[in-house]
């Protein structure tokens, strides 16, 4: 398969548009001085990535991406931006020191490595539609396998749901539930009292003068 | 559907990751820096979903789901800390946060 | 499909340590938030959890047992026990040390203890993770409570700043880590490290498949090392560490100076050796450079630090560098095709245990130098300590010479085991690194012995009315307990090291 061939495939149009949209709006997000506009560009990036998810047969993930990221995370961002009235950034990119530019250079070096690697070899290494040439290495567990290879089509909610509650992932799921509890309690502790703390009188944790 | 190679998705993800990292390094506004971290996490879940498709292994999609939950956790804790710091300093610029120096 | 088909009883047995810490952590959170007067009780509940976990680890260590669970995503073997033990010790003593701080809090004291237990559960997840994703979320379960605990004193500018800095660096390093995991998943088709080693990475031949696969896997591995390097504060990813240590309340600093470092180095060891062992000739030299930088920068940074917590922060950076030596030695052995590489896990466990005792003792001493647990303290407040507080001065001396690694201390045996694990590889460049490490230990004597010199060779400043040493009951208890631990490890290292002989043997599933 050559570059020219897949460039003429119909799916290519959707993937190209979504990819360009994702990348361009990510750049806009990073370079806007106005934080609110940055957040809106972030929404655009996330939706474009959700479109890419759909082209990868990950419909459920795409829906969750839009619901959680756009519906919750970005709204939370906007809420805090409004709350703090911290819209504009006084010092911008121009003040970045040499160390910061060096890290940017490292990041772009990494990217170049990818471009070189991605298009240096033969492209058909990993292809859609057909089964992988070599089956992925089997997991050592005997209990699994039949659960995942279910009747449901790949990426359907039932398929994802079964994988979510399979032995491979259920431990991670439980760890995340504990993580959510810890984060929730911690945030409540951090937020509790900020309202009346700003009045004088609470000397908790005052430092030695 | 079968003519878009995995490489394309990984390159898009790498671009997003790089843009996020560059933004994190150069921007001084804590809120923007947090948004850049979100961008980096999204790029990771894009790689997971693309690799899941390539290997026909749905676990990659499940991991992407986990990452979305993680992003929500980090934003919640991060914004709580930003609000707490803002109460003390009236600023969200990291350059003003330099009380801790040797 | 019923729930019993998903989770077998053997799965629950494998995550025993996590279950204990999570149960006690949640109970502690619940008690702490339900009852206004529940602070003491939730501290006790967390402490019992730590004691139980530590006891289970201490009893089971060295038996060579191996219990896998959750589709081999998690394993309870000797390395897991050995890594959780120092974390449990650190948690227990940090809870004890934080009693004064908890009394100064208006609210949230109960939640503090619960978060500490949950963070330790995260360390337990990391210690036994055989799946990159499980390990990653273990790292998160460890980090998120720590971000919050670092910023726990909301009114304190330094504590806030430390918490936010920790969060920013921590979340970006998580993103780097998870991107690395994603790339290695894309290249290798699995996140399970056993399956990785059996699959495309088998016998090191793997990456010849295509340039895309090999570059993706190598970049993924590199990003995993960078991400974990941030978490363990390895140079050049250490710049957040002194600031965060200095700004966080002292008991929190104490807690995250030990557990996260030990658990992260342990996770790095397991992932690199068991999972990416086939790429050892790539990563071992890289880690060598990182180890040299880490030791040297850590020691040079600590050299002229006048402040206690900052000094211990740099010293902690240096100690992570020493621990890396064992990983490097094991990697070189693996690349040579030798089976002896698993012996290095003994060195990591022993080093982690001795480091946890001596570092906790040092922090307990630092915490008694000031009236509050916020901010940092100048080390010259120690001047003339031996006149009024002979026991405290003796304890401080014990911890400091042990941290230096002067012979017949716990720190010495720890360094010896790490150095010999590195030297067993026999490679010339590893010898060079060990020599650099030895020179670094000599340099570290300067800053470790300075507090000792302050407390013995200076007289208390004339005309000073108040004493600079503000003894707290909990601080004295922690110093005593840590002192017993350091002495025990110093006098009876053979007991631990013999028991630990079996540690490496259970590292891999039986063929």
On whether the A1-88 domain is CATH 1.10.10.1200, my answer is: no
For residues C39, C42, C48, C49, the Cα torsion angle rounded to the nearest 10 degrees is: -140
Average pLDDT over residues C358-363: 94
**Contact (Cβ atoms closer than 8 angstroms) between residue C304 and residue C287:** no
Share of chain C above pLDDT 70, in %: 92
**Contact (Cβ atoms closer than 8 angstroms) between residue A32 and residue B36:** no
Query: Is residue C109 less than 8 Å (CB to CB) from chain A?
Result: no
Q: What is the C-alpha separation between A186 and C463, in angstroms, rounded?
A: 46
pLDDT at C336 over 90: no
Picking from A52-66, C196-210, C249-263, C359-373, which range would have the lowest pLDDT averaged per residue? C196-210
Rg over alpha carbons for chain A, rounded to the nearest Å, is 23
Average pLDDT over residues B93-102: 70
Average pLDDT over residues B18-25: 89
Partners of chain B (3+ Cβ pairs below 8 A): A, C
Going by pLDDT thresholds of 50, 70 and 90, the confidence category of residue A51 is very high
Residues of C within 8 A of A132 (CB-CB) are 189
C426 SS3 class: coil
For the record, the structure tokens of C153 come out as 């004193």
Residue of C nearest to A165 (CA): C6
Query: Is residue B34 less than 8 Å (CB to CB) from chain C?
Result: yes
From the list C239, C79, C110, C115, the residue with the least C-alpha distance to C173 is: C239
C74 SS3 class: strand
pLDDT at C383 over 50: yes
Tens digit of pLDDT for each residue in C38-81?
778 899 999 999 999 999 998 888 777 888 889 889 999 889 99
For the record, the structure tokens of C72 come out as 């081999």
Question: Residue C144: which of B36, B77, B100 has the nearest Cβ?
Answer: B77
Q: What is the C-alpha separation between B102 and B100, in angstroms, rounded?
A: 7
- Which residue would you say has higher pLDDT here, C9 or C175? C175
Report the residue of C131, C136, C152, C179 to disrupt the B interface, i.e. the one with the largest count of B CBs within 10 Å: C179
Average pLDDT over residues C84-95: 95
The reported pLDDT for the residue numbered A139 is 43
**Which run of H or E residues covers position A92?**
none
The reported pLDDT for the residue numbered A137 is 41
- Which residue would you say has higher pLDDT here, C449 or A127? C449
Question: Residue C195: which of A139, A175, A186 has the nearest Cβ?
Answer: A139
Average pLDDT over residues A182-200: 72
Question: Residue B6: which of A86, A126, A159 has the nearest Cβ?
Answer: A126
Share of chain B above pLDDT 90, in %: 51
C405 SS3 class: coil
The reported pLDDT for the residue numbered C389 is 84
Residue ranges covered by each domain of chain A? 1-88, 165-198
From the list C10, C88, B7, C193, the residue with the least C-alpha distance to A126 is: B7
Residue of B nearest to A110 (CA): B18
Residue ranges covered by each domain of chain C? 3-506
Partners of chain C (3+ Cβ pairs below 8 A): A, B
Mean pLDDT of all residues belonging to chain C:
87
Q: What is the C-alpha separation between C26 and A181, in angstroms, rounded?
A: 9
Residue of C nearest to B79 (CA): C164
Most confident range (mean pLDDT) of A148-152, B18-22, C212-216 is B18-22
- Which residue would you say has higher pLDDT here, C139 or C338? C139
Q: What is the C-alpha separation between C255 and C482, in angstroms, rounded?
A: 14
Report the residue of B28, B35, B94 to disrupt the A interface, i.e. the one with the largest count of A CBs within 10 Å: B35
The reported pLDDT for the residue numbered A196 is 45
The reported pLDDT for the residue numbered C468 is 74
**Contact (Cβ atoms closer than 8 angstroms) between residue C149 and residue C118:** no
pLDDT at C89 over 90: yes
Share of chain C above pLDDT 90, in %: 53
Cross-chain residue pair B84–C190, CB shorter than 8 Å: no
Report the residue of A12, A22, A130 to disrupt the B interface, i.e. the one with the largest count of B CBs within 10 Å: A22
The reported pLDDT for the residue numbered C324 is 94
Residue of B nearest to C181 (CA): B44
Shortest CA gap B38–chain C (Å) = 8
The position carrying tokens 């339900």 is: C34
pLDDT at C507 over 80: no
Going by pLDDT thresholds of 50, 70 and 90, the confidence category of residue C379 is confident
Give the Cα-Cα-Cα angle C241, C247, C249 (nearest 5 degrees): 110
Residue C341 exposed, middle or buried by CB count within 10 Å (0-12, 13-18, 19+): buried
Question: Residue A204: which of C22, C106, C199 has the nearest Cβ?
Answer: C106
Query: Is residue C376 less than 8 Å (CB to CB) from chain A?
Result: no
Q: What is the C-alpha separation between C495 and C479, in angstroms, rounded?
A: 23
Picking from A98-107, A152-161, C90-99, which range would have the lowest pLDDT averaged per residue? A98-107
Tens digit of pLDDT for each residue in C271-322?
999 988 888 888 999 999 999 999 999 999 999 888 889 999 999 999 999 9
pLDDT at C364 over 80: yes
Going by pLDDT thresholds of 50, 70 and 90, the confidence category of residue A33 is confident
Residues of C within 8 A of B34 (CB-CB) are 168, 171
Question: Residue B73: which of C144, C163, C307 has the nearest Cβ?
Answer: C144
Shortest CA gap A146–chain C (Å) = 12
pLDDT at C372 over 90: no
Q: What is the C-alpha separation between C446 and C379, in angstroms, rounded?
A: 14
The reported pLDDT for the residue numbered A119 is 60
Mean pLDDT of all residues belonging to chain A:
74
The reported pLDDT for the residue numbered C404 is 92
Going by pLDDT thresholds of 50, 70 and 90, the confidence category of residue A125 is very low
Provide ipTM, 2 decimals: 0.95
- Which residue would you say has higher pLDDT here, C392 or A136? C392
- Which residue would you say has higher pLDDT here, C18 or C504? C18
Question: Residue A91: which of B28, B31, B38 has the nearest Cβ?
Answer: B28
Report the residue of C145, C178, C310 to disrupt the B interface, i.e. the one with the largest count of B CBs within 10 Å: C178
The reported pLDDT for the residue numbered C197 is 82
Picking from A98-107, B16-25, C154-163, which range would have the lowest pLDDT averaged per residue? A98-107
Residues 6+ apart with CB under 8 A from A137: C188, C189, C190, C195, C196, C198, C199, C200
The reported pLDDT for the residue numbered C462 is 56
Share of chain A above pLDDT 90, in %: 33
C350 SS3 class: helix
Q: What is the C-alpha separation between A198 and A195, in angstroms, rounded?
A: 6
The partner residues of C192 in beta bridges, in order of sequence, read C131
Residue of C nearest to A171 (CA): C70
The reported pLDDT for the residue numbered A190 is 87
Going by pLDDT thresholds of 50, 70 and 90, the confidence category of residue C346 is confident
HSE-up (13 A, CA, CB side) for residue C208: 4
Picking from B33-42, C247-256, C413-422, C451-460, which range would have the lowest pLDDT averaged per residue? C451-460
């Amino acid at each position: 398969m050559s570059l020219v061939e897949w460039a003429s495939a119909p799916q290519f149009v959707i993937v190209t548009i979504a990819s360009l949209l994702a990348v361009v709006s990510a750049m806009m997000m990073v370079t806007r001085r106005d934080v609110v506009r940055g957040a809106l560009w972030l929404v655009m990036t996330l939706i474009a990535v959700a479109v890419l998810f759909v082209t990868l047969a990950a419909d459920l993930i795409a829906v969750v991406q839009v619901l959680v990221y756009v519906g919750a995370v970005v709204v939370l961002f906007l809420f805090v931006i409004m709350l703090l009235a911290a819209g504009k950034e006084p010092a911008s990119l121009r003040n970045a020191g040499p160390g910061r530019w060096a890290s940017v250079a490292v990041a772009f070096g990494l990217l170049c490595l990818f471009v070189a690697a991605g298009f240096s070899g033969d492209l058909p290494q990993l292809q859609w539609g057909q089964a992988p040439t070599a089956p992925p290495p089997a997991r050592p567990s005997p209990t699994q396998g039949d659960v995942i290879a279910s009747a449901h089509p790949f990426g359907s909610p039932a398929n994802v749901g079964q994988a979510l509650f399979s032995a491979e992932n259920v431990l991670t799921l439980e760890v995340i539930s504990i993580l959510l509890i810890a984060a929730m309690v911690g945030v409540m502790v951090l937020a509790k009292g900020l309202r009346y703390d700003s009045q004088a009188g609470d000397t908790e944790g005052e430092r030695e003068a | 559907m079968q003519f878009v190679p995995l490489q394309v998705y990984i390159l898009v993800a790498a671009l997003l990751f790089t843009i996020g990292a560059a933004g994190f390094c150069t921007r001084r506004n804590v809120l923007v820096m947090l948004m850049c971290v979100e961008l980096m996490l999204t790029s990771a879940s894009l790689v997971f979903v693309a690799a899941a498709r390539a290997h026909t292994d749905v676990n990659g999609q499940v991991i992407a789901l986990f990452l979305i939950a993680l992003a929500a956790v980090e934003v919640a804790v991060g914004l709580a800390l930003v609000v707490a710091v803002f109460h003390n300093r009236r600023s969200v610029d990291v350059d003003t946060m330099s009380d801790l120096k040797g | 499909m019923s729930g019993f088909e998903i989770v077998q009883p053997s799965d629950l047995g494998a995550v025993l340590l996590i279950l204990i810490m999570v149960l006690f952590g949640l109970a502690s959170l619940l008690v702490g938030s339900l009852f206004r007067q529940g602070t003491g009780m939730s501290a006790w509940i967390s402490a019992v959890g730590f004691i139980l976990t530590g006891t289970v680890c201490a009893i089971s260590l060295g038996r060579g047992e191996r219990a896998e669970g959750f589709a081999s995503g998690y394993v309870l073997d000797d390395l897991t026990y050995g890594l959780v033990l120092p974390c449990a010790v650190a948690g227990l003593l940090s809870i004890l040390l934080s009693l004064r701080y908890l009394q100064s809090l208006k609210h949230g004291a109960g939640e503090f203890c619960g978060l500490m237990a949950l963070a330790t559960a995260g360390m337990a997840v990391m210690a036994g993770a055989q799946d990159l994703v499980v390990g990653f979320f273990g790292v998160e379960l460890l980090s998120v409570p720590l971000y919050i605990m670092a910023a726990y004193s909301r009114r304190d500018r330094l504590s806030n700043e430390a918490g936010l800095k920790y969060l920013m660096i921590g979340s970006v390093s998580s993103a780097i880590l998870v991107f690395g995991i994603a790339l290695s998943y894309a290249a290798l088709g699995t996140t399970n490290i056993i399956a990785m080693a059996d699959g495309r990475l088998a016998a090191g031949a793997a990456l010849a498949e295509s340039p895309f696969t090999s570059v993706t896997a190598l970049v993924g591995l590199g990003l995993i090392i960078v991400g974990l390097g941030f978490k363990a504060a390895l140079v050049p990813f250490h710049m957040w560490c002194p600031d965060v240590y200095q700004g966080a309340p002292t008991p929190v600093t104490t807690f995250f100076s030990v557990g996260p470092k030990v658990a992260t180095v342990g996770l790095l060891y397991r992932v690199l050796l068991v999972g990416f062992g086939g790429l050892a000739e790539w990563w071992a030299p890289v880690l060598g450079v990182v180890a040299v930088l880490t030791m040297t920068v850590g020691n040079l940074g600590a050299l002229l630090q006048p402040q206690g917590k900052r000094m211990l922060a740099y010293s902690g950076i240096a100690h992570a560098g020493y621990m890396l030596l064992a990983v490097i030695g094991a990697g070189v052995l693996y690349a040579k095709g030798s089976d002896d590489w698993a012996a290095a896990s003994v060195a990591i466990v022993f080093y982690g245990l001795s480091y946890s005792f001596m570092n906790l003792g040092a922090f307990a001493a630092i915490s008694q130098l000031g009236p509050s647990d916020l901010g940092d303290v100048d080390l010259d407040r120690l001047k003339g300590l031996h006149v009024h507080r002979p026991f405290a001065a003796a304890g401080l001396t014990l911890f400091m010479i042990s941290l230096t690694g002067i012979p017949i201390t716990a720190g010495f045996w720890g360094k010896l085991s790490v150095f010999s694990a590195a030297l067993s590889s026999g490679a010339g460049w590893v010898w060079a690194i060990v020599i650099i490490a030895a020179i670094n230990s000599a340099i570290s004597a300067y800053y470790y012995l300075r507090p000792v010199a302050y407390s013995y060779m200076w007289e208390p400043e004339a005309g000073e009315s108040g004493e600079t040493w503000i003894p707290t009951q909990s601080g004295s208890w922690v110093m005593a307990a840590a002192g017993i631990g350091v002495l025990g490890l110093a006098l009876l290292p053979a007991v631990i090291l013999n028991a630990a002989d079996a540690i490496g043997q259970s590292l891999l599933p039986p063929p």
